[in-house]
Homo-oligomer: A and B are copies of this chain.
Amino acid sequence: MKIGVVVSEGPYTHQAADSAYHFVKAVLDSGHEVPRVFFYHDGVNVSSRLTIPPQDERHIQNNWTNLAKEHEIDLVVCIAAAQRRGLLDANEANRQGKDANNIADGFRISGLGQLIEMGIQTDRLVTFGD
């Protein structure tokens, strides 16, 4: 079965990004698929490669990047939500005249249509948020 996942809160502040991570791992372990995870609202903050959590805490962005690589999961960051909150890739930074970018490896920025498409193309959709 194909299960789509939405993450709508930022890392560390809410448990959502952690819960979604454990859930996606369990989906994969159960032999089902997670073709895409969509990051919306403050969820876009999960994609920042600039986070430096304390040594004894989990590294949420690294966890997602590694999981996505290993299982070819499409991690999509909503562009409208990302722009409001200061999450940019190199392309966007260039286009918008910003002098830095901060999106981590394994995440890609795209439109809200990707969320609707995920709803259409998956069998179930689960949202982790606040």
Chain A interface (Cβ < 8 Å from any Cβ of B): 10-13, 41-42, 45, 48-54, 57, 61, 80, 83-88, 93, 96, 98, 100-102
Instruction: Tell me if B83 and A10 are in contact (CB < 8 A).
Output: no
Choice from B41, B93, B100 contacting A101 with Cβ under 8 Å? B100
Instruction: Known contacts A10-B85, A12-B85, A85-B12; decide if A102 and B50 are in contact (CB<8 Å).
Output: yes
Question: Is the contact region of chain A dominated by helix, strand, or loop, or is it mixed?
Answer: loop
Give this chain's copy count: 2
- B12 in contact with A51 (CB, 8 Å): no
User: Measured between C-beta atoms, what is the minimum distance from A43 to chain B in Å?
Assistant: 10
Chain B residues with CB under 8 A of A96: 52
CB pair A52–B13 under 8 Å, yes or no, is no
Residue contact A51 to B13, C-beta cutoff 8 Å: no
A91 to B80 Cα, complex, angstroms: 30
A56 to B11, CA, bound (A): 28
Q: Which residues of B contact A100 (CB under 8 A)?
A: 50, 100-102
Contacts of A11 in B (CB 8 A): 84-85
With a cutoff of 8 Å between Cβ atoms, the chain B residues found around residue A61 in the complex are: 86
User: Judging by beta carbons under 8 Å apart, are B102 and A51 in contact?
Assistant: no
Residues of B within 8 A of A86 (CB): 45, 48-52, 61, 102
Q: Which residues of B contact A12 (CB under 8 A)?
A: 84-85
